[in-house]
Amino acid sequence: MPDTATLPTIWLDSRELAQRFGRRHHNLLKSIDQLLAQCPAAADHVKYSTYPAIAGLGGTRHVRHALVDRIGFTLLAITLGTTQRDIVFDLLMAFEATANPN
């Protein structure tokens, strides 16, 4: 197994995670916020950003989303409940396949 310090950092977008888990995006963001409040050390594994979204009357608003790495996702998965283990397992295997292409 390669040294984790040399692995490329792969980030998952919270919008994609919300879609895969069948959750509303703002609820997933609340879960991430709660995770960071309970475990401040996880802050290195979550980055917040914004993306433009079309608002009413043709305007644009900037909506918050999060990017989580493999460790951040693993910590988040612990909080999501046991009914979605297959999705968590598939995403963790995708992380490993991307990090270890051999």
Domain spans of the chain, in order of start: 9-99
Half-sphere exposure of 58 (CA within 13 A, CB side): 0
> Is residue 11 within 8 Å of residue 47, measured between CB atoms?
yes
Give the per-residue pLDDT at 7.
Answer: 52
> Hey, what are 79's tokens?
């909080």
Say how far apart CA 74 and CA 34 lie, in whole Å: 15
Q: Count of CB atoms within 10 A of residue 91's CB?
A: 20
Q: What is the pLDDT of residues 16-55, one digit of tens each?
A: 888 888 889 999 999 999 999 999 999 999 999 999 988 8
SS3 category, 54: strand
Q: Once rounded to an integer, what is the mean pLDDT over residues 4-17?
A: 76
Say how far apart CA 65 and CA 58 lie, in whole Å: 21
Phi, psi of 33 (to 5 degrees): -60, -45
Q: Can you give the pTM of this predicted structure?
A: 0.76
